[in-house]
A = this chain, B = another copy of it.
Amino acid sequence: MGLVVQKYGGSSVADAEGIKRVAKRIVEAKKNGHQVVVVVSAMGDTTDELIDLAEQVSPMPTGREFDMLLTAGERISMALLAMAIKNLGHKAQSFTGSQAGVITDSVHNKARIIDVTPGRIRTALDEGNIAIVAGFQGVSQDSKDITTLGRGGSDTTAVALAAALDAEVCEIYTDVDGVFTADPRVVKKAKKIDWISFEDMLELAASGSKVLLHRCVEYARRYNIPIHVRSSFSGLQGTWVSNEPRGDQQVEHAIISGVAHDVSEAKITVVGVPDKPGEAAAIFRTIANAEINIDMVVQNVSAASTGLTDISFTLPKAEGRKAIDALERAKATIGFESLRYDDQIAKISLVGAGMKTNPGVTAGFFEALSDAGVNIELISTSEIRISVVTRADDVNEAVRAVHTAFGLDSDSDEAVVYGGTGR
């Protein structure tokens, strides 16, 4: 039996009862002969409460002190979890990100892991301990300051530790049973996926699926660490994410892995752009200089009569104000007519490696939307994904129609409530 890394999100350790339940599950893995490393998030709403406090003393809290504050959350949950495990008669030690050797860059509030040196974890494991590690946090290589990894950071901590410790598997425990063919809150007949490739999972994560974040899956693929996403409540087998399915993993050779949707984006249209070389570059250089990540881009065919064209792109709603401001400031230099901002859009994506060899997928996708009376505003594709932008009001109906059209519906209604995992 090898080493297992388990990650528990905030909803799994929301109160003392949750911590005791999780402690029992951890001890089971230890009893089964595994060495066990546990990564834990802050309890329930702790992080939000700390952010509230910060906003009460300072209007725009950021940076070093904000990270120092937030990391108190995992410190509490990890110490309590270690106590609960000891109370079950097993040895446990908790470690901060710094103590666990999670070395990051110095970008506070969204640091990136640049190295993991888990010497103290190894020693603790060799001495028979279960090691409990604070998720979401690290220490900067240069300044030795405490950093946090941003949203979904605890999952990344878990995968990074699994890679550094050469773990058999990284188990991500959450409040849903796994990754589904669509958001079960929208599609009642969505099915749990038993196995999915890293590539398809990356596309789903990039397209709005919130179970695993893109950065975490990317890390797991780079180091070839199988991820097992499962519920800390039910104990059922969840979804395996890996390069290849194991012999006992059921894989339906479907063309499509799943339908993802995302209502967190907005669309900006730059109207009346002179159709000449360098114009599009000037627009996106302006956006990039404002440190805004964009998603889809479409340039309309130029109207021959005017020599002007429109360029549309999507971006996170939260960045909308900043992008508009940056473009307005550059209006004279770039030379466009006006800006249109639209935050009532949704993105719907169909993901699956099978579409590479099945030319009819795009047509089927558009037909399903058309039959449901859903208008398509933008289109973007990769080798294994097709995404469209529609009106936000149409999103639920569109997702259901596509899910049905590609034969993804299960025979029975699933009774799962889908929720975010916080960090």
Contact = CB atoms under 8 A, between A and B. Distances in A.
Interface of A: 16, 19-20, 23, 50, 53-54, 56-59, 61, 64-66, 68-69, 71-73, 75-76, 78-84, 86-87, 92-94, 99, 144
Given A50-B76, A75-B75, A76-B50, A57 B83 contact: yes
Given A71-B75, A75-B71, A76-B72, A65 B86 contact: yes
Contacts of A81: 57
Specify how many copies of this chain sit in the oligomer: 2
Given A53-B80, A65-B79, 7 more contacts: A19-B57, A53-B76, A57-B80, A57-B83, A57-B87, A65-B83, A65-B92
A60 to B, nearest CB: 9
A64 B83 CA distance: 9
A176 to B, nearest CB: 25
Nearest to A134: B68
Nearest to A82: B65
Given A53-B76, A75-B75, A87 B59 contact: yes
Contacts of A72: 72-73, 75-76, 79
B80 A76 contact: no
B57 A20 contact: yes
A20 B68 CA distance: 18
Contacts of A65: 79-80, 82-83, 86, 92-94
Contacts of A99: 144
A54 B83 contact: yes
Contacts of A82: 65, 68
A28 to B, nearest CB: 17
Contacts of A58: 83-84, 86-87
B69 A93 contact: no
Contacts of A19: 57
